[in-house]
């Protein structure tokens, strides 16, 4: 028989406001096995934990039930407490009387009654708990960073600096990501290239970093410390180690009318191309869909002009298998499609552009060499209208756009408006805003400068319709402060398109079994306390894949993720989860049902000799679980017809005891 | 191919052309339109009020009749189409439908498929097929399609096309051999029934549309709505405004017979 | 199809035994009456000649016996398998329940086996002797002067009327020619139940299952129930229970029993054959088979060795649990 | 009627959701009848949300809305302002003697070309 | 005599990674649902043995709901796909035995769907309450 201590937490008024904690402690005192019961304001505090430790010693407790917040919050805390008190940490069960009781029920009587039942279920379970010892597994001391934007670059550099090898997988031909496309950065107006490209070079030159550009993650198996990853290196038809990046091929390529992705299609590139001058790796890539040689076998000019002999039209996609201890997701963002917002005429006029396109228009390396010219006729625009919140902050019932605030638009629009007025004082610049959101260091000051020093006209209101007519864009908008509908003949309209996670994130999350929210942003292990970890152990989050972020925030989070990865990789061994499946060999039929449902291949079979009661021996096929590989899902336990397979920590009799306690 | 057909009051009176050319063209395209028996006026506009059922009964009866006959329902007039389609959508709400059904004494559940004539051309016949049947392609004619508000909105119900950048009429114009003129205000309101008591308001709205079309190089405006046509013409459109069915009939060579 | 007779089987058994191919023979041993034949192992020619029987009451499925008998047996065992038995035979092989090397399987043709209770319904009580002549049986009873003549086809076991296959899917040797997979109507009764209202279904099953004695015969005979330790005998399983006590007890027992064999049950019908209360237990198993066929595509357990049972398999497009009732309604 | 009751009535009739409004003003930005309206679509939403409904009931603005649904389709919050305007109008015209248009008004409003559609629509919108 | 309002007893099995987290999120957002719902945490929906469900009914539960990650999003890759098959067959069987369909349900609730969790529980509790006491599966011997 266990000697169980019950500890009921008030969580200040969070629990005690709706649950009579004293009554709960009192009621649970009479449950079988319970020898001690107490309540306290904050069980998770040092004082609360000490109280548990004291009680364990004083009452010789063998099991602990904490009635408190969700086990997802403090189960680990109380397990450590138990360990400190000399108990096996797995002799602790949590009754979730906050998230699943006090916070969702209104009156005291109901809350208390339910809390008691949840407590009883936990007591019933602890009665059947057994000490568990986690197995250990070695850690592969190499990290994988998926995505080579500023987030991935920073994470990779930080991990590599700590001495661990890092591989970056980038789906584009070059690393650099969105930041490489930007002109200046707010609020200090550094040139993005000036601060990014040195980092890109650092990455390229770092002996601990390998870059797999033009590559994608194909498959991920394994678990924290021991991931097996297959990386698909797409054929770029250029030998990376031979190409010198001289650009002779690009110059001579006859296929010159391919929309240039780097400039968002505002100009053209050739079929063989280097995305931009500072690309890393600086190697050419052949766009197989555009290359005449690859499609029809006719051309081959690039091969002729390449003095290094780097062109290889027969190159095939290559699969690289590598082991990693940790994986960092840094897949970033994209502006959303403007198709559902054509009241702004994005699809009807070349002179309605997104803010990212505006970045390229003002970038010295962009399609207009940095001169602000409107795309339709390359004339200088005199009246520019910026529209904020296009597709952001949309209610789900409006069935278009995103519900969240994209966070970066207010600041980059202020930057665009300011820079335009600075460079071209003859332009009129209007910004239509709903709210201006500038919570950041020097952010509001920056926005005010745009208004006060640069004369940008901020108008509170939204644009309702943009009608291209002749050379003008007729903008109809509301000015809420003056209660007027205003009409502006603009030359250029810039839409602050909402941002969304990259489309590759969803399939990647499935491969990683990492969870995502409804917007396809990766979910953190805890929104406040574990913001750079995914709930899947060993998978970390860096940058905008977790939520909209500006550059300073992205870089901080990238470094934070790196710190977490380093903390993992310095360990030689990892303690596993002891809640794994175990087969009772006496009951096992050897039928293979469990093996077939195991997603990890953790189950194997062996022939074992059994001594029978009549002193004969009998050889039977029985299942064996590899505890280092088993992740503890429990699929096998249900597939097993005889019940030989059970899950430690969530055993059949434990769950049934909980059922019984609830249904009493 | 046979369909139930709801012409509507204006098509029996001031907009006989719209109806006549629709029928002739349908015949030429091998589609039989069977007029709903004893149809009643749709009321011109859909009453959005959730507590009104009387204003929606005539549409429900037409929809129910089509369902009983086993046909999909075709409309031409933008207003009728809007009212019938919105009513049909409202009938998919069980609570609302039960009130209406109690009143009408027969059960209808909003499941009749409603096509606008343009949708019939696009989705059932196919613009490719229309193109094959064209005998007088209207070559070089610069035509501005005018959707107005009724065909496209509310988009969640009408689901005809992209409400902000539609192309069904443009494709139609291409199918009959002419050149569509893109202009942004093709989905803005002409002023509608307000014309009756506030001519100035209607004028402003109409001019906003027709001027935009003219400035974008149009020679003629086509519409599916008698009231749109009335407002644009009445308020001094600088170019002619005609029904899309007339152009179709002309292109198919059935205008005069 | 060549008719099989006791003589053919005895000759086959003796010759294999004498050749040393097998060291033992599974067969049917004579009982008190002609109809209560018992599965038995024969190891001598003499025993076979004297006690081996084969008649219209040899319905038992030998597959399951192989699990226990082959384990410590040195040498091969001869087993006679009807077509329906071969499916169970394969299913057990799929689950690694016995060593195929230790078995010599001889497929035998079958036109269906008789149900003694149906015979007694016609001939009356006190059956003392049954003589088979081709398709006919002459039944002598204590209370009637003349033997009653009954056509075998009129008194078949229920499962034989809905025989799913005359094809043998596993054998080392076949007596006679092989048959075909049949187009049976075995799901008709399930569909009939599905078409009832929930209240009618509840009443039907309550009526049937409340007759259960918890004798465990259905489990003991079932070739899919070969667990080393059955959950119903395991005090730690939470469902251990030896006796019937309450109507739910049977329902729980029978749902779990049927679920445990779902996807593995070959529909051999032994459960219903042995039920002393004549509960149509096969209708539970067949419901699972019907659902599996409908939701996940046709699957016949035991058709192929090594096939993946539906419950340890999946597709990403599987039907949602909330949609499973729709099938039933369509049939209704 | 009590303003709160009136507000609930308007929300019930319209099925619209003024509480979802984030005051971006896009409804008014897109409204073709803006110039003719004393109270503009965003004000309808805001005033109804605040229970300030009397001025709306007495304003000519309720007869200026064209029910063109531009505000409904373009609202990023799914508020459906046009339905609110219609609800206010209905609350007004449903009152005894409060029809905005009567049969007697019609002859002087007619011209040769005006389609029936305009008449029935106006009656639908303006009278009960 | 005062008639007590009938309160159904509902057991909810929630997978640790999605649905249990979704239930926590419902709590974080203070979204109400009936206290009749009692949650049992399991690592994955595929840990739920049909025996547990029958056990709950036997002991007097009026409804049992199983919540897991959306198909394709299982933390263990494929656990919920097995759940889907097992429960499809089990529920169909219970229906076949004349047990009310609304007493059992499988719902996919992600960690982000706190609102869906609360809405699901409200709806399920209401449906189960409208069926009344579970008489067809309860084993009266299990009651004191």
Q: A388: closest CA among A418, A419, A355?
A: A355
Angle at A418 between CA A412 and CA A420, to 5 degrees: 100
Fold for the domain defined by B129-252: Rossmann fold (3.40.50)
| φ/ψ of residue A427, rounded to 5 | -90, 145
Same structural domain, D30 and D56 = yes
pLDDT given for residue E21 in this prediction: 94
Q: Using DSSP bridges, classify how beta strands A258-259 and A226-233 pair: parallel, antiparallel or unpaired.
A: unpaired
Domain residue spans in chain B? 2-117, 129-252
A661's tokens: 């306690």
Point out the residue among D33, D83, D116 whose CB comes nearest to the CB of B201: D33
pLDDT given for residue A338 in this prediction: 96
pLDDT given for residue C243 in this prediction: 60
Contact C202 E51 (CB under 8 A): no
Task: Work out the pLDDT band at A450, boundaries 50, 70, 90.
Answer: very high
pLDDT tens profile A136-189: 889 999 999 999 999 999 999 999 999 999 999 999 999 999 999 999 999 999
pLDDT given for residue D98 in this prediction: 86
If you average pLDDT over residues E106-112, what whole number do you get? 93
pLDDT given for residue E144 in this prediction: 45
Task: Give the span between the Cα atoms of B194 and B201, in whole angstroms.
Answer: 7
Q: How far is A592 from chain C (nearest CA, A)?
A: 6
| φ/ψ of residue A473, rounded to 5 | -115, 110
Q: A420: closest CA among A455, A375, A460?
A: A455
If you average pLDDT over residues A367-375, what whole number do you get? 94
Give A-chain residues touching E11 at CB under 8 angstroms. 659, 662-663
Q: Between the CA atoms of C214, C217, C218 and C222, what dihedral angle is there, to the nearest 10 degrees?
A: 140
pLDDT given for residue C331 in this prediction: 39
pLDDT for residue B20 is more than 60: yes
The secondary structure of residue A120, as a DSSP letter, is H
Query: Contact, A192 vs A415, CB < 8 A?
Result: no
The domains found in chain A, sorted by start residue, are 4-126 (3.40.50), 157-231+319-332+514-568 (3.50.50.60), 248-305 (no CATH), 334-500 (3.50.50.60), 581-648 (3.30.70.3270)
- Tell me the H-state helices in A206-315: 248-252, 292-296, 301-305
Q: How far is D95 from chain A (nearest CA, A)?
A: 30
- Burial class from Cβ neighbours inside 10 Å (0-12, 13-18, 19+) for residue A634 reads buried
Range of the domain at D128: 101-128
- Count of structural domains within chain D: 2
pLDDT tens profile E115-131: 999 999 999 999 999 99
pLDDT for residue C136 is more than 90: no
If you average pLDDT over residues A65-86, what whole number do you get? 95
User: Is E2 within the bounds of a domain?
Assistant: no
Contact A593 C309 (CB under 8 A): yes
Query: Contact, A133 vs A649, CB < 8 A?
Result: no
- Tell me the H-state helices in chain C: 6-19, 45-51, 63-71, 83-94, 116-123, 158-161, 188-194, 198-209, 217-221, 247-261, 270-274, 282-296, 325-331
Q: Does B185 touch chain A (CB under 8 A)?
A: yes
Query: Contact, A645 vs A592, CB < 8 A?
Result: no
Angle at C229 between CA C225 and CA C232, to 5 degrees: 75
Beta strand spans in A524-596 (E): 539-541, 573-575, 581-583
If you average pLDDT over residues C244-264, what whole number do you get? 79
pLDDT for residue C2 is more than 60: no
Give A-chain residues touching B185 at CB under 8 angstroms. 465, 467
pLDDT tens profile B174-228: 999 999 999 999 999 999 999 988 899 999 999 999 999 999 999 999 999 999 9
If you average pLDDT over residues C246-266, what whole number do you get? 83
pLDDT given for residue A615 in this prediction: 85
pLDDT tens profile E66-101: 999 999 888 888 899 999 999 999 999 999 999 999
Same structural domain, D7 and D48 = yes
Q: How far is B156 from chain A (nearest CA, A)?
A: 9
If you average pLDDT over residues C29-49, what whole number do you get? 90
Point out the residue among C96, C229, C260 whose CB comes nearest to the CB of A590: C96
Task: Work out the pLDDT band at E106, boundaries 50, 70, 90.
Answer: very high
Point out the residue among D29, D43, D79 whose CB comes nearest to the CB of A462: D29
Task: Give the span between the Cα atoms of A42 and A54, in whole angstroms.
Answer: 16
pLDDT given for residue C1 in this prediction: 41
Task: Work out the pLDDT band at B256, boundaries 50, 70, 90.
Answer: confident
Point out the residue among E90, E105, E137 whose CB comes nearest to the CB of C259: E90
Task: Work out the pLDDT band at A662, boundaries 50, 70, 90.
Answer: very high
Contact E28 A660 (CB under 8 A): no
If you average pLDDT over residues D39-52, what whole number do you get? 96
pLDDT for residue E138 is more than 90: no
pLDDT tens profile C187-241: 999 999 999 999 999 999 988 888 888 888 999 999 999 998 898 888 888 777 6
Find the helix packing angle between A108-126 and A21-29, rounded to 10°.
Answer: 40
Query: Contact, B114 vs B84, CB < 8 A?
Result: yes
pLDDT given for residue A308 in this prediction: 94
Q: Is residue A75 within a helix (H) or strand (E), and if so which, with residue range? A: helix A71-84
Chains A and D touch (3+ CB pairs under 8 A): yes
pLDDT tens profile C62-112: 999 999 888 888 899 999 999 999 999 999 999 999 999 999 999 999 989
CATH entry, B2-117, from 3.30.300.30, 2.160.20.60, 1.20.1050.140, 3.40.50.300: 1.20.1050.140
pLDDT given for residue A183 in this prediction: 95
Task: Work out the pLDDT band at C11, boundaries 50, 70, 90.
Answer: very high
Range of the domain at E87: 10-142
If you average pLDDT over residues B125-150, what whole number do you get? 95
- Count of structural domains within chain E: 1
Neighbours of chain B (3+ CB pairs under 8 A): A, D
CB count within 10 Å of CB A94 equals 24
Same structural domain, D74 and D26 = yes
**In the predicted model, what is the mean pLDDT of chain A?**
95
Give D-chain residues touching A338 at CB under 8 angstroms. none
If you average pLDDT over residues A309-325, what whole number do you get? 96
pLDDT given for residue C326 in this prediction: 62
The secondary structure of residue B54, as a DSSP letter, is G
For chain D, give the secondary structure using H, E and C.
CCHHHHHHHHHHHHCCCHHHCCCCCHHHHHCCCHHHCCCCHHHHHHHHHCCCCHHHHCCHHHHCCCCCCHHHHHCCCCCCHHHHHHHHHHHHHCCCCCCCCCHHHHHHHCCCCCCHHHHHHHHHHHCC
D14's tokens: 């319209």
**In the predicted model, what is the mean pLDDT of chain C?**
88
pLDDT for residue C329 is more than 50: no
Same structural domain, D13 and D62 = yes
Percent of chain B having pLDDT more than 90? Answer: 90
Query: Contact, A46 vs A134, CB < 8 A?
Result: no
A584's tokens: 């009772």
Same structural domain, D27 and D85 = yes
User: Is E107 within the bounds of a domain?
Assistant: yes
Give C-chain residues touching E85 at CB under 8 angstroms. 295-296, 310-311, 313-314, 318
The secondary structure of residue A133, as a DSSP letter, is -
Contact B183 A345 (CB under 8 A): no
Same structural domain, D7 and D38 = yes
| φ/ψ of residue A261, rounded to 5 | -60, -40
Please state the pTM of the whole predicted model: 0.76
Q: Does B230 touch chain D (CB under 8 A)?
A: yes
Domain residue spans in chain C? 6-113+161-174, 114-155, 188-331
Q: Does E128 touch chain A (CB under 8 A)?
A: no
Same structural domain, D76 and D48 = yes
pLDDT for residue A440 is more than 50: yes
User: Is E5 within the bounds of a domain?
Assistant: no
Contact A523 E47 (CB under 8 A): no
Q: How many Å is the Cα radius of gyration of chain B? A: 18
Task: Give the span between the Cα atoms of A549 and A531, in whole angstroms.
Answer: 13
Contact E58 C252 (CB under 8 A): yes
Percent of chain E having pLDDT more than 90? Answer: 76
Give C-chain residues touching E91 at CB under 8 angstroms. 321, 324-325
Q: Using DSSP bridges, classify how beta strands A603-611 and A539-541 pair: parallel, antiparallel or unpaired.
A: unpaired
Query: Which CATH number covers residue E78?
Result: 3.40.50
Same structural domain, D52 and D16 = yes
Task: Give the span between the Cα atoms of D70 and D28, in whole angstroms.
Answer: 10
CB count within 10 Å of CB A101 equals 29
pLDDT given for residue C252 in this prediction: 82
Task: Work out the pLDDT band at D112, boundaries 50, 70, 90.
Answer: confident
Residue A328 pairs in a beta bridge with A145, A540
Task: Give the span between the Cα atoms of A643 and A659, in whole angstroms.
Answer: 18
Sequence-distant (6+) residues with CB within 8 A of A58 are none
pLDDT for residue C244 is more than 70: no
Query: Contact, A557 vs A548, CB < 8 A?
Result: no
Query: Which CATH number covers residue D20?
Result: 1.10.1060.10
pLDDT given for residue E76 in this prediction: 86
If you average pLDDT over residues A528-543, what whole number do you get? 90
**Is the omega angle on the peptide bond into residue B154 within 30 degrees of 0, that is, cis?**
yes
pLDDT for residue E47 is more than 80: yes
CB count within 10 Å of CB B119 equals 22
């Amino acid at each position: 028989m266990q000697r169980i201590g019950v500890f009921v937490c008030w969580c200040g008024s969070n629990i005690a406001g709706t649950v009579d904690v004293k009554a709960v402690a009192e009621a649970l005192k009479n449950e079988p096995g319970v020898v001690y019961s107490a309540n306290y304001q904050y069980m998770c505090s040092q004082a609360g934990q000490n109280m548990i430790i004291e009680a364990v010693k004083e009452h010789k407790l063998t099991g602990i039930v904490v009635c408190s917040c969700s086990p997802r919050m403090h189960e680990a805390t109380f397990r450590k407490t138990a360990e400190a008190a000399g108990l096996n940490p797995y002799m602790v069960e949590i009754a979730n009387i906050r998230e699943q009781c006090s916070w969702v029920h209104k009156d005291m009587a109901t809350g208390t009654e339910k809390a008691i039942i949840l407590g009883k279920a936990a007591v019933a379970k602890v009665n059947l708990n057994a000490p568990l010892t986690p197995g250990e597994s070695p850690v592969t001391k190499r990290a994988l960073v998926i995505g080579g934007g500023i987030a991935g670059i920073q994470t990779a550099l930080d991990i590599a600096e700590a001495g661990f090898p890092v591989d970056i997988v980038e789906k584009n031909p070059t690393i650099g990501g969105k930041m490489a496309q930007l002109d200046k950065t707010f609020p200090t107006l550094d040139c993005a290239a000036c601060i990014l490209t040195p980092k890109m070079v650092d990455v390229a030159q770092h002996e601990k970093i390998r870059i797999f550009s033009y590559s994608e993650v194909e498959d991920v198996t394994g678990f924290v410390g021991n991931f097996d990853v297959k990386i698909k290196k797409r054929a770029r038809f250029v030998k990376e180690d031979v190409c010198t990046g001289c650009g002779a091929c690009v110059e001579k390529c006859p296929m010159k009318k391919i929309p240039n992705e780097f400039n968002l299609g505002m100009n053209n590139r050739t079929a063989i191309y280097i995305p931009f001058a500072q690309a890393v790796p600086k190697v050419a890539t052949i766009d197989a869909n555009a290359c005449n040689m690859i499609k029809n076998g006719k051309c081959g000019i690039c091969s002729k002009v390449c003095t290094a002999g780097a062109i290889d039209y027969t190159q095939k996609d290559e699969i690289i298998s590598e082991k990693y201890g940790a994986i960092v997701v840094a897949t970033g963002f994209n502006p959303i499609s403007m198709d559902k917002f054509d009241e702004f005429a994005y699809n009807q006029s070349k002179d309605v552009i997104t803010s990212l396109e505006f970045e390229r228009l003002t970038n010295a390396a962009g399609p207009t060499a940095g001169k602000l010219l409107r795309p339709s006729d390359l004339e200088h625009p005199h009246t520019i209208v910026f529209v904020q919140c296009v597709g952001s902050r949309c209610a789900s019932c409006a069935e278009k756009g995103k519900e969240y605030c994209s966070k970066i638009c207010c600041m980059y629009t202020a930057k665009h408006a300011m820079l335009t007025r600075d460079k071209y004082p003859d332009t009129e610049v209007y910004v239509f805003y709903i709210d201006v959101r500038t919570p950041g260091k020097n952010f509001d000051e920056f926005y005010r400068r745009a208004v006060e020093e640069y004369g940008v006209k901020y108008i509170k209101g939204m644009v309702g319709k943009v009608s291209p007519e002749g050379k003008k864009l007729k903008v109809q908008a509301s000015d809420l402060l003056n209660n007027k509908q205003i009409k502006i003949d603009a030359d250029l309209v810039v839409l602050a398109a909402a941002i969304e996670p990259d489309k590759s994130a969803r399939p990647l999350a499935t491969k990683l079994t990492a969870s995502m929210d409804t917007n396809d942003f990766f979910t953190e292990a805890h929104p406040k306390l574990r913001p750079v970890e995914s709930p899947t152990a060993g998978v970390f989050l860096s940058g905008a894949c977790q939520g909209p972020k500006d550059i300073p925030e992205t870089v901080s989070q990238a470094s934070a993720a790196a710190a977490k990865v380093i903390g993992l990789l310095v360990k030689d061994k990892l303690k596993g989860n002891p809640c794994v499946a175990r087969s009772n060999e006496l009951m096992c039929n050897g039928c293979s049902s469990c093996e077939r449902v195991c997603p990890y291949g953790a189950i194997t079979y062996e022939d074992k000799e059994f001594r029978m009661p009549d002193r004969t021996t009998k050889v039977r096929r029985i299942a064996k679980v590899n505890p280092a590989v088993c992740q503890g899902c429990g699929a096998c336990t249900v597939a097993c017809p005889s019940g030989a397979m059970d899950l430690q920590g969530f055993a059949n009799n434990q769950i049934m005891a909980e059922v019984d306690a609830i249904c009493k | 191919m046979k369909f139930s057909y709801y012409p509507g009051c204006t098509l029996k009176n001031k907009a006989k052309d719209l109806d006549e050319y629709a029928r002739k063209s349908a015949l030429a395209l091998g589609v039989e339109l069977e007029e709903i028996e004893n149809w009643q006026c749709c009321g011109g506009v859909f009453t959005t009020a959730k507590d009104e059922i009387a204003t929606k009964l005539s549409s429900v009866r037409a929809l129910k009749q089509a369902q009983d006959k086993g046909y999909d329902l075709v409309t031409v007039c933008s207003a009728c189409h809007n009212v019938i389609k919105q009513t049909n959508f409202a009938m998919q709400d069980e609570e609302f439908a039960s009130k209406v059904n109690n009143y009408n004494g027969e059960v209808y559940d909003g499941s009749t498929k409603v096509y606008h004539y343009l949708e019939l051309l696009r989705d059932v016949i196919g613009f490719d097929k229309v193109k094959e049947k064209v005998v007088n392609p209207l070559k070089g004619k610069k035509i501005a399609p005018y959707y107005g508000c009724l065909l496209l909105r509310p988009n969640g119900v009408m689901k005809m096309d992209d409400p902000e950048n539609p192309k069904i009429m443009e494709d139609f114009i291409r199918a009959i051999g002419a050149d569509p003129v893109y202009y942004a205000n093709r989905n803005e309101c002409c002023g509608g029934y307000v014309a009756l008591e506030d001519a100035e308001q209607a004028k402003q709205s109409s001019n906003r549309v027709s001027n935009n079309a003219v400035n974008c190089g149009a020679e003629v405006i086509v519409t599916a709505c008698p009231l749109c046509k009335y407002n644009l013409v009445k308020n001094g459109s600088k170019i002619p405004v005609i029904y899309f069915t007339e152009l179709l009939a002309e292109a198919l060579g059935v205008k005069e017979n | 199809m060549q008719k099989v007779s006791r003589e053919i089987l005895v000759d086959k058994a003796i010759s294999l035994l004498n050749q040393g191919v097998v060291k033992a023979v599974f067969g049917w041993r004579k009982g008190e009456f002609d109809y209560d034949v018992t599965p038995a192992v024969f190891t001598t020619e003499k025993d076979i000649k004297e006690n081996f029987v084969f008649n219209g009451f040899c319905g038992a499925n030998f597959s399951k016996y192989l699990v226990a008998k082959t384990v410590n047996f040195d040498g091969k065992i001869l087993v006679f398998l009807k077509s329906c038995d071969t499916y169970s035979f394969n299913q057990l092989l799929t689950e690694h329940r016995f060593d195929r090397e230790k078995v010599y399987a001889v497929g035998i043709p079958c036109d269906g086996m008789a149900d003694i209770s149906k015979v007694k319904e016609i001939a009356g009580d006190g059956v003392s002797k049954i003589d088979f002549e081709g398709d006919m049986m002459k039944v002598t009873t204590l209370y009637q002067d003349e033997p009653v003549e009954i056509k075998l086809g009129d008194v078949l076991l229920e499962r034989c009327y809905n025989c799913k296959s005359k094809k043998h899917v596993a054998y080392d040797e076949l007596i006679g020619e092989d048959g075909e997979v049949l187009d049976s109507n075995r799901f008709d009764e399930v569909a009939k139940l599905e078409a009832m209202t929930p209240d009618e279904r509840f009443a039907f099953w309550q009526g049937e299952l409340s007759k259960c004695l918890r004798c465990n015969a259905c489990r003991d005979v079932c070739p899919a129930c070969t667990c080393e330790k059955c959950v119903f005998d395991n005090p730690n399983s939470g469902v251990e229970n030896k006796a019937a006590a309450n109507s739910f007890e049977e329902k729980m027992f029978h749902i779990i029993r049927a679920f445990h064999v779902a996807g593995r049950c070959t529909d051999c019908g032994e459960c219903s054959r042995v039920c002393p209360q004549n509960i149509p237990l096969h209708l539970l198993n067949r419901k699972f088979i019907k659902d599996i066929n409908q939701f996940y595509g046709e699957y016949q357990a035991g058709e192929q060795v090594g096939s993946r049972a539906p419950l340890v398999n999946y597709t990403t497009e599987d039907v949602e649990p909330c949609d499973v009732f729709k099938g039933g309604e369509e049939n209704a | 009627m009590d303003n709160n009751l009136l507000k609930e009535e308007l929300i019930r009739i319209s099925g619209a959701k003024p509480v979802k409004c984030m005051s971006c003003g896009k409804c008014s930005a897109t409204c073709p009848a803006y110039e003719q309206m004393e109270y503009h679509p965003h004000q309808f939403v805001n005033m109804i949300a605040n229970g300030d409904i009397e001025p709306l009931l007495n304003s000519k603005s309720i007869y200026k809305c064209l029910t063109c649904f531009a505000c409904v389709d373009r609202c990023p919050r799914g508020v459906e302002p046009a339905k609110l305007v219609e609800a206010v109008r209905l609350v007004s015209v449903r009152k005894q003697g409060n029809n905005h248009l009567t049969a007697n008004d019609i002859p002087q409003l007619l011209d040769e070309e005006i389609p029936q559609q305009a008449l029935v629509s106006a009656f639908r919108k303006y009278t009960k | 005599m005062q008639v007590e309002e009938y309160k159904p007893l509902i057991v909810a099995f929630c997978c640790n990674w999605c649905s249990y987290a979704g239930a926590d999120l419902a709590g974080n957002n203070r979204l109400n649902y009936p206290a009749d719902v009692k949650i049992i945490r399991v690592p994955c929906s595929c840990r739920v043995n049909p025996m547990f469900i029958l056990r709950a009914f036997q002991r007097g539960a009026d409804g049992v709901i199983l919540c897991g990650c959306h198909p394709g999003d299982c933390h263990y890759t494929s656990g919920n796909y097995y759940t889907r098959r097992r429960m499809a067959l089990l529920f169909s069987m219970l229906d076949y035995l004349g047990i009310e369909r609304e007493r059992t349900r499988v719902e996919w609730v992600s960690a982000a769907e706190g609102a869906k969790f609360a809405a699901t529980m409200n709806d399920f509790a209401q449906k189960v309450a409208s069926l009344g006491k579970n008489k067809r599966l309860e084993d009266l011997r299990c009651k004191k």
